[in-house]
Amino acid sequence: MHSPPSTPSTLNLTSKLLSLLKQCTSIESIKQVHSQMLIHSLQNHNQILSKLIDLNDFSYSSLLFSHIPIPNDFSYNVMIRGLTKKWHNFTLTLQFYHQMKLFGLKPNNFTYPFVLISCANLPSFYHGIRAHSSVLQRGLRSDPHVAHSLITMYARCGDSGGARDVFDEITERDVVSWNAMISGYLKMGCAAEAVVLFRRMRVAGFEPDEMTLVSVLAACADVGDLSMGKWIEGFVVEGGIEMNSFLGSALIDMYGKCGNLESARRVFDGMSKRELVIWNAMITGQITRTFHLQFYYDYASIHLQLIFHWFSQNGASDEAIKLFHGMIEEGVTPDKITLVGALSACASIGALDLGKWIDSYASQRGMNHDIFVGTSLMDMYAKCGGLDDALKIFEDLPQKNIVSWNTIISALAAHGRANDALSSIKRMVEEDKTVQPNDITFVGVLSACVHAGLVDEGYRWFNLMSSFGLTPKIEHYSCMVDLLARAGRLMEALEFIRKMPEEPDAITLGALLAACRNFGNMDVGEQVMHLLLDLEPSNSGNYVISSKIYAKSKKWDDSARMRRLMRERGVSKTPGCSWVEIENQVFEFHAGDLCLNSREIHRVFILLKEEMKNEGYRPMVDFL
């Protein structure tokens, strides 16, 4: 089909219609302009197509493109841009790219950035390499947009060398070039390299922009570079740069992960407008403290099992819950990230009432079936004693991943239902072909064997790891040591420690030492004792247990020596600490603490102790 010859009247009409097209803000108005063009046989498909893509109408855009008699490179580039930026259909982007070449059209510097970004997002290293080869053939290697997209493609595909080669070949770098490489290093888990490159950028005389600062702050959080993080805050303040939600949340996240909660709180309190991302950063920082979370608000890569473990290891969960209450009071609507963090804090300190409120909140908004919120709810209920609720949520999940399976297996193990935990892993392997057991799965299974004293079953599952392509790590050896120690097979447990792939940690040695105390085994106990005191010379519990082991064997001089050694080294006994939730408020109390709330709590504890005695509880006094 050929366009009719242009006349002054058709040129005038075309000009008017194109002017109207620019003003269109709805699909309906575009259709009206388009109909007039069709009536007058005006061939302005590319302009219509571009406007449709701006308004995000995939169906109409596809229909229009299919009716273009002979699409040119501009038509293809417009569609490729829309498929990549608007609709994120990266596979279809590559199909259009290949079709474009098949029809003899030449991709150009407007084509390749979107093609490479599509390769990065799939990710498809094979197609990325081929596109790079085509870029070189067409002499486009010096185009900055193409080069930056190449860096992103290589970084997303995990090839740090390829990304760096492209960066080094850029003859005239700008801030975007540095940002692409710094961000690329961060995506590949090379945070230290990102910080080093940022220093080179400063030496080269480039001023960082907001994207640079946010990326480098994330890198500082990864490697614990508090000094560089503080420098960036000073740079922002001295330069009069606006502390928006992106910079603010990055600073809070950095300080939180570097263990400087005071500075994190200072930045948080100084924010004039606290958006959701700011609250999330502060809550996450309070919970994790010095523990690094590979979070980045990316649900696809979040490793909830590690998060749950880290949350339970620190004492900042009560502060996180206070922040969550403050967030609700300020009218900020929590999202899935917030709920996951708050639920993990609830699980850590047993705040069941708040956990139930979050469950209700999530259910009302349809978020309870989200796999990550659902898994967090399971973990919270299981750790707060509600195993049946956790099981119900698990069964109701529309889809399950390895994290949800691991959570329910660990929950069953912790509640002493070892057989159910073992049945769950068998069910997972037999019924769900989309998941495979991982390291954490076997920690849960072996823990179930520990709680139930299933030594032979523990050995069987430990040896089964290799059939799933897994190599036992220190956590699995620790479970086996604990299992053997509780069964009284102490020498066997010690041999297991000697076979471990790395030095045993304090938890493993502590479990074996406690078993030596319970079974009165001095021979193994003394060997473990020396290892543990070398590893943790400032842990009061090690001296106390060692003293009691000697005392049980009537070695009074050695028992007194351990107490004396503890005093000489300046080691003091840390008082026990616990929490209780009353009317949505969390109270913390310590052993020996006689404040008002603690007095009331202790009175209740005395009543509970009497009830326990009535139920047959007898305290162990051998080691007092």
Tens digits of per-residue pLDDT, 10-28? 677 778 877 888 888 888 8
Instruction: Encode pLDDT of 79-100 as tens digits.
Output: 999 999 999 999 999 999 999 9
The 3-state DSSP class for residue 373 equals: helix
Number of Cβ within 10 Å of residue 450's Cβ equals: 24
Whether a cis peptide bond, with omega within 30° of 0, leads into 5 is no
Q: How far apart are CA 526 and CA 536, in angstroms?
A: 15
Query: Which residues face 578 on adjacent strands?
Result: 589
Environment class of 290 (CB within 10 Å of its CB; exposed 0-12, middle 13-18, buried 19+): middle
Q: pLDDT band for position 533 (50/70/90)?
A: confident
Lowest mean pLDDT among 35-44, 356-365, 405-414, 450-459: 35-44
Identify the pLDDT of residue 165: 97
Q: How far apart are CA 113 and CA 96, in angstroms?
A: 14
Q: How far is CA 246 from CA 210, 255, 331, 415, 502, in A?
A: 8, 14, 20, 42, 41
Check residues 272 and 139 and name the one with the higher pLDDT: 139
Q: Is the dihedral of CA 448, 454, 457, 463 positive or negative?
A: positive
Element spanning 585, H or E: strand 585-590
With contact defined as beta carbons under 8 Å apart, do 83 and 53 qualify? no
Instruction: Encode pLDDT of 224-267 as tens digits.
Output: 999 999 999 999 999 999 888 889 989 988 988 888 878 888 88
Q: Fill in the amino acid letter for 460.
A: R
Instruction: Encode pLDDT of 490-524 as tens digits.
Output: 999 999 898 888 888 888 888 898 888 888 888 89
Identify the pLDDT of residue 308: 35
With contact defined as beta carbons under 8 Å apart, do 47 and 21 qualify? yes
Q: How far apart are CA 215 and CA 254, in angstroms?
A: 11
Residue 222 CB-half CA count within 13 A: 20
Is 172's pLDDT higher than 90? yes
The tokens of 131 are what? 């596109």
Count, residues in the chain: 624
Instruction: Encode pLDDT of 269-299 as tens digits.
Output: 888 777 767 766 666 665 554 333 333 333 3
Q: Domain residues of the chain, as ranges?
A: 31-172, 400-458, 577-614
C-alpha 592 chain-centroid distance: 38
The 3-state DSSP class for residue 394 equals: helix
Global pTM exceeds 0.85: no
Is 370's pLDDT higher than 50? yes
Identify the pLDDT of residue 619: 67
Match domain 31-172 to its CATH number in 3.30.310.80, 1.25.40.10, 3.40.640.10, 3.90.1150.10.
1.25.40.10
Q: How far apart are CA 501 and CA 497, in angstroms?
A: 9
Q: How far apart are CA 45 and CA 54, in angstroms?
A: 14
Is 603's pLDDT higher than 80? no
Q: Is the dihedral of CA 356, 358, 359, 365 positive or negative?
A: positive
Q: What's the whole-number mean pLDDT along residues 413-429?
A: 94
Q: Is the dihedral of CA 543, 545, 548, 550 positive or negative?
A: negative
